[in-house]
Amino acid sequence: MVNDSSINNESRQALGSLSRMSMGDVQHTYQINETVKVNIVLFDHYKKPKTRGGDMLVVWMKDPQHGAASAGTVIDHGNGTYTGVLRTLWTGRAIIRAAMISSRERMTHIYRSFQNGYFGKKITCTFRSNTATEATRGYMDMRYMKKRPFCNLTADYFGVPFYCEKPKAKGIRCHDWAETSLPHNYMTFGADTRWFAERTSTEIIPDSIRINISPNRQEKRSPSIPCGRRNFRDTWLATPPVGYSYNNTWRPLSCWNSVHVDMYNQCLANRTLILFGDSTVRQMFGELLPILNFTLIRGPPIVQGTRNWFTWNSAFEAYNEKYNYTVFWMPHGFPMAFSKVNTKLSQPVFAHLDAIPPGSTDIILINLYAHFHFVPFHIYRDRVHRTRLAIENLLKRSPDVKIAIKGPHKFSVPKPITPLGGMWGPAYENILKREFVNLYDRVLYLDIWDMTVAFENEDIHPNGLLVNMMVQVFFGYICGN
């Protein structure tokens, strides 16, 4: 795919609105827990069928009347045709839908943009001495350095590669690095690449298929093992679908959630819960606020239902006096979009983990995702590697800590002038699963991809219903027994 000779002929790219989905079974009637297959053919702007694969598709089924939804998998046949595979997980009715979340050409364009020097964050380094202040450009990869001389600040930023152009003012040296800003650096387009800016990243295929699902008396539907008793390894090795919703409650297929909301306080009693990530993880912190009724003791005021509290330059800390526990939300560090942040607040997750003392019983959730979309893959891969090493060391000195890795979620952007979008999800998940393969038994994988596909999530910030489901699944595994 990266060797495609031409990607800018938009007319030859797949177009979701012209593509088709069909089913060979004319009766459209199934029993519970049967496999359903649909055929998908992609067409280009000339209404001609595509003859090669590589586009990224998703399929799902839903019954909005009963709050039911589940995701399937898609098989790429390499010739412009695809097979969607789903399971019937509830009785009644279901509507099957499909969408293209990225064309082959879109993924190739972004990959080549990174190879050609695009970097999605415009980093500004501020140096401050007793006599002067100066701002220069910053970089997280030496290949993008455009000026010399430079300050190598890698050691100052916990061993993560970081460089700034050397200040020119007298009296300012590299060790006077004081703060950093990382606003988004939007893509620029020429006449031949404007198609990228004009296309949305999710294109719904117009066909929908309705099926009926009847019960099977011999089929055992409900798992008998509480999620808290499942080996964490199962969460890494599970194949889609990993769960489904019914009555707007997410139900993992391998276990049942035995933890109710009124048990959260007992689970957290005399412990510390630390949530590392971006604003999507901070949504989980906000979701817990009315549930746990803890007191916010650090961070700006939280206004439920708004984003007025979405500020990066502050961590959040809350305390529950009755049950004696503390809850933190902390940003995961560069390349997060900070504004004039100091090194202490912007430190990477692994640096925080290294500071946790022996004998800890902390509960930790980590999410590295959306802000890494702006940078080449090797930066994400390196950060995941450093995080995994820190987790290994933490588990050695504090074997009673509980750690969860929150996986990618599906979303899109209405005007894709950045690399953002759910097309990165499967690639990032693959990196996570390869890196953590030796920790499958010790670390929980919170797989939310199916959940966000099934509920047709488009916003980078999932709605309250989805965030609540994520919180419930997390506590079900971490606190159940």
**367-380 pLDDT per residue, tens:** 999 999 888 899 99
Nearest in space to 298 (alpha carbons), one of 279, 317, 282, 319: 317
Task: Give the range among 91-100, 109-118, 235-244 with minimum mean pLDDT.
Answer: 109-118
Amino acid type, 346: S
Is residue 21 pLDDT above 90, yes or no?
yes
Please report the pLDDT score of residue 426 as a whole number: 93
How are beta strands 56-63 and 133-139 bridged, if at all? unpaired
Q: Higher pLDDT residue, 329 or 109?
A: 329
Task: Provide the b/e sequence for 329-346 (b: ≥16 CB within 10 Å).
Answer: bbbbbbbbbbeebebeeb
Q: Please, which pLDDT band fits residue 1 given cuts at 50, 70 and 90?
A: low
Average pLDDT, the chain: 90
Is residue 309 pLDDT above 70, yes or no?
no
Nearest in space to 23 (alpha carbons), one of 80, 99, 95: 95
Please report the pLDDT score of residue 98 as a whole number: 98
Give me 401's structure tokens: 């800590």
* DSSP letter string, 172-210: --GGGEEEEE--B------TTTHHHHHS-S-EE-S--EE
Please report the pLDDT score of residue 307 as a whole number: 45
Please report the pLDDT score of residue 32 as a whole number: 94
By CB atoms closer than 10 A (0-12, 13-18, 19+), residue 188 is: exposed
Q: What is the mean pLDDT of residues 393-411?
A: 97
pTM (2 decimals)? 0.94
Task: Give the range among 142-151, 412-421, 438-447 with minimum mean pLDDT.
Answer: 412-421
Nearest in space to 480 (alpha carbons), one of 359, 329, 363: 363
Q: Please, which pLDDT band fits residue 145 given cuts at 50, 70 and 90?
A: confident
Is residue 2 pLDDT above 60, yes or no?
no
Inter-residue contact 250 to 69 (CB < 8 Å): no
Decide: helix, strand or coil at residue 142: helix
Nearest in space to 430 (alpha carbons), one of 384, 474, 365: 384
Please report the pLDDT score of residue 305 as a whole number: 45
27-52 pLDDT, tens digit each: 789 999 999 999 999 999 899 999 99
Amino acid type, 241: P
Tokens 């990196």 correspond to what residue?
A: 431
How are beta strands 20-22 and 35-41 bridged, if at all? antiparallel
Q: Please, which pLDDT band fits residue 314 given cuts at 50, 70 and 90?
A: confident
Q: What is the mean pLDDT of residues 306-311?
A: 46
Q: Please, which pLDDT band fits residue 312 given cuts at 50, 70 and 90?
A: low
Please report the pLDDT score of residue 303 as a whole number: 45
Inter-residue contact 38 to 59 (CB < 8 Å): yes
Decide: helix, strand or coil at residue 481: coil
- Name residues whose C-beta falls within 8 Å of residue 401's C-beta, 6 or more positions apart in sequence: 356, 360, 361, 362, 363, 364, 394, 395
Please report the pLDDT score of residue 61 as a whole number: 98
Strand order in the sheet with 35-41: 20-22, 35-41, 81-87, 73-76
Q: Please, which pLDDT band fits residue 310 given cuts at 50, 70 and 90?
A: very low
Instruction: Give rounded-to-5 percent helix, strand, coil for the chain.
Output: 30, 25, 45
